[in-house]
């Protein structure tokens, strides 16, 4: 068992041994007494640890509503939903999905086979099916795809007393009630007020008198990453989602945004690592290899370009073989420096920090960084090579090569993602392996080009 799993088990407040024995012995009362009293997080962890022989008994012991709570907070691989739902009776699974918060249920249906999802939508009640079909119609990774339609909205032309009545009636079904959104008679968003404001206001006060009309909203087509950035900037617990005519369609809650931020961070890291998907841990080496091979093949051809470039300087190497010793040093330094600049640029784009400052300011800053680091590293390596080989010309050649390549490497690391961002391409695609390979080519060209020019002094 891994460290994380061991920590979960230590922190768990649930008696797993008792529950497993109760499942084996078919003691439903003992199971429910222990299980229902436990925290939902512990319940979910316990359920995901069970094998496929014991899980069907849990479906028999828990109601669809109780199972819905587990599905909303379970931390499992997205590909596992289809198998878990297939273990349940179709009617049970459909009812469970209809009792989940709509956005969570839509996420689950998005991850399973379309025919299986369609069968569940056919079985469940018309209202739930219509709501889920609407959410499933929105393009993936947009505000519409992560919003929930379970929220409290009141009209501006009513009193606090009537608004409180609606709130009490709708609260059990709403995902959050900390914000109450205000609409006009045409269901257009006109304002927002907090639960505190509503509670402390006089019963006969009109909602139009206490609402805040400076409400921040997002379009239903807005990219989820931009929504996450706005919610972080404004420190909101929920954000209203509107159509192009400002009709209130749903809300996005902070728990969904945390999932989005985790997903986007994982996606960016995957691309920076040159791997297609790090969200899941592949149990099969064939599956893992299939995801990694496309990137590796591309990098293989780029690497062959580097090898071909070295071959062009075969005559230079034959005259001064010691030059080959410093190829990994210069290439490695260029790759490391380029990756550092790349990380700064990609992070600035991802967090939106670069929206508040000039892109050229970043490039100039990175160029200055490359100039300083290149000069220091160049001087150090010149001294080391001179002491080691007793050859000032060779030391100067290696030092000047490092100085030059580090400047080019930082410029490449900062410019490439900015250019990709300008072209509407995900800048994380400018991954570490790509930048490293590009900088290898640049460093080899600079190093051997200078060596060829000064060969008369080296021999």
CA–CA–CA angle 176, 181, 185 (5° rounding): 135
Cβ-proximal residues to 246 (8 Å cutoff; 6+ apart), any chain: 188, 189, 217
Do 432 and 295 fall within a single domain?
yes
| Residue 305 near residue 441, CB atoms below 8 Å | yes
pLDDT computed for residue 340 by the predictor:
82
User: How would you classify the pairing of strands 189-194 and 153-155?
Assistant: unpaired
Do 165 and 135 fall within a single domain?
no
Do 223 and 320 fall within a single domain?
no
Total number of domains in the chain: 3
Out of 98, 118, 141, pick the residue that ends a domain. Answer: 141
Q: Is residue 354 part of a domain?
A: yes
CB atoms under 10 Å from CB of 240, counted, come to 24
Question: What whole-number distance in Å separates Cα of residue 219 and Cα of residue 290?
Answer: 37
Do 295 and 402 fall within a single domain?
yes
CATH number at residue 451: 1.10.357.20
Out of 103, 118, 141, pick the residue that ends a domain. Answer: 141
Q: Is residue 265 part of a domain?
A: no
CATH number at residue 132: 1.25.60.10
- State the SS3 of the chain: CCHHHHHHHHHCCCCHHHHHHHHHCCCHHHHHHHHHCCCHHHHHHHHHHCCCCCHHHHHHHCCHHHHHHHHHHCCCCHHHHHHHHHHCCHHHHHHHHHHCCHHHHHHHHHCCCHHHHHHHHHHCCHHHHHHHHHHHCCCCCEHHHHCECCCCEEECCCEHHHHHHHHHHHCCCCCCCCEEEEECCCCEEEEEEEHHHHHHCCCCCEHHHHCECCCCCEECCCEHHHHHHHHHHHCCCEEEEECCCCEEEEEEEHHHHHHHHHHHHHHHHHHHCCCCCCCCCCCCHHHHHHHHHHHHHHHHHHHHHHHHHHHHCHHHHHHCHHHHHHHHHHHHHHHHHHHHHHHHHHHHHHHCHHHHCCHHHHHHHHHHHHHHHHHHHHHHHHHHHHHHHCCHHHHHHHHHHHHHHHHHHHHHHHHHHHHHHHCCCCHHHCCHHHHHHHHHHHHHHHHHHHHHHCHHHHC
Do 413 and 299 fall within a single domain?
yes
Do 47 and 166 fall within a single domain?
no
Q: Is residue 318 part of a domain?
A: yes
CATH number at residue 225: 3.10.580.10
Do 162 and 128 fall within a single domain?
no
Q: Is residue 389 part of a domain?
A: yes
pLDDT computed for residue 418 by the predictor:
83
Judge if pTM exceeds 0.75: no
Q: Is residue 58 part of a domain?
A: yes
Do 97 and 183 fall within a single domain?
no
Domain that holds residue 323: 285-458
Do 218 and 327 fall within a single domain?
no
pLDDT computed for residue 448 by the predictor:
87
pLDDT computed for residue 431 by the predictor:
58
Do 242 and 305 fall within a single domain?
no
| Residue 61 near residue 46, CB atoms below 8 Å | no
pLDDT tens digits in sequence order for the chain, 459 residues long = 344 444 444 455 788 999 999 999 999 999 999 999 888 889 999 999 999 899 999 999 999 999 999 998 888 877 888 899 999 999 999 999 999 999 889 989 988 988 899 999 999 999 999 999 999 999 888 999 999 998 999 999 999 999 999 999 999 888 888 899 999 999 999 999 999 999 999 999 999 999 999 999 999 999 998 898 889 888 888 999 999 999 999 999 988 888 887 776 666 555 555 555 545 555 567 766 776 676 667 767 777 777 777 777 777 777 778 888 888 888 888 888 888 888 788 777 766 666 656 677 878 888 898 899 999 999 999 999 999 988 888 889 999 999 999 998 888 888 888 887 777 766 665 556 677 778 888 888 888 888 888 787 776
pLDDT computed for residue 159 by the predictor:
95
Q: Is residue 367 part of a domain?
A: yes
Q: Is residue 249 part of a domain?
A: yes
Do 251 and 291 fall within a single domain?
no
Do 367 and 443 fall within a single domain?
yes
Out of 72, 106, 141, pick the residue that ends a domain. Answer: 141
Q: Is residue 135 part of a domain?
A: yes
pLDDT computed for residue 4 by the predictor:
46
């Amino acid at each position: 068992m891994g460290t994380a799993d061991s920590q979960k088990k230590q922190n768990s407040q649930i008696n797993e041994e008792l529950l497993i024995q109760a499942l084996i012995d078919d003691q439903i009362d003992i199971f429910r007494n222990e299980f229902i009293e436990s925290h939902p997080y512990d319940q979910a962890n316990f359920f995901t640890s069970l094998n496929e022989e014991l899980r069907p008994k849990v479906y028999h012991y828990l109601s669809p509503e109780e199972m819905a709570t587990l599905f909303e907070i379970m931390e499992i691989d997205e590909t596992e939903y289809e198998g878990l739902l297939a273990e349940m009776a179709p009617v049970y699974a459909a009812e469970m999905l209809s009792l989940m918060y709509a956005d969570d249920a839509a996420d689950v249906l998005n991850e399973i086979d379309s025919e299986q999802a369609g069968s569940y939508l056919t079985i469940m009640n018309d209202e739930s099916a219509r709501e889920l079909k609407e959410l499933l119609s929105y393009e993936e990774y947009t505000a519409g795809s992560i919003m929930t339609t379970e929220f409290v909205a009141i009209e501006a032309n009513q009193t606090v007393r009537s608004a409180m009545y609606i709130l009490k009636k709708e609260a059990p079904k709403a995902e959050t009630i900390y914000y109450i959104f205000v609409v006009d008679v045409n269901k257009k968003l006109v304002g927002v007020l907090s639960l505190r404001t509503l509670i402390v206001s006089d019963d006969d006060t009109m909602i139009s008198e206490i609402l805040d009309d400076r409400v921040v909203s997002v379009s239903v087509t807005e990219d989820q990453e931009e929504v996450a950035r706005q919610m972080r900037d404004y420190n909101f617990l929920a954000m209203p989602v509107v159509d192009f005519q400002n009709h209130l369609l749903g809300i996005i809650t902070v728990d969904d945004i945390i999932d989005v931020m985790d997903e986007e961070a994982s996606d960016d890291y995957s691309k920076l690592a040159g791997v297609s998907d790090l969200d899941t841990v592949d149990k099969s080496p064939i599956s893992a290899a299939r995801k990694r091979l496309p990137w590796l093949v591309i990098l293989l051809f780029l690497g062959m370009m580097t090898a071909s470039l070295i071959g062009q300087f075969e005559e230079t190497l034959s005259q001064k073989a010691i030059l080959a010793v410093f190829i990994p040093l210069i290439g490695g330094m260029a790759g490391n420096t380029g990756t550092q600049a790349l990380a700064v640029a990609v992070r600035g784009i991802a967090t939106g920090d670069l929206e508040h400052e000039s892109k050229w300011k970043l490039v100039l800053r990175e160029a200055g960084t490359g100039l300083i680091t290149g000069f220091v590293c160049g001087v150090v390596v010149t001294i080391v090579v001179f002491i080691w080989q007793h050859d000032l010309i060779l030391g100067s050649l290696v030092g000047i090569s490092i100085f030059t390549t580090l400047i080019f490497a930082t410029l490449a690391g900062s410019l490439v993602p900015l250019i990709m961002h300008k072209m509407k391409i995900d800048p994380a695609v400018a991954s570490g392996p790509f930048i490293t390979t590009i900088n290898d080519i640049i460093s080899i060209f600079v190093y051997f080009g200078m060596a060829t020019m000064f060969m008369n002094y080296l021999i």
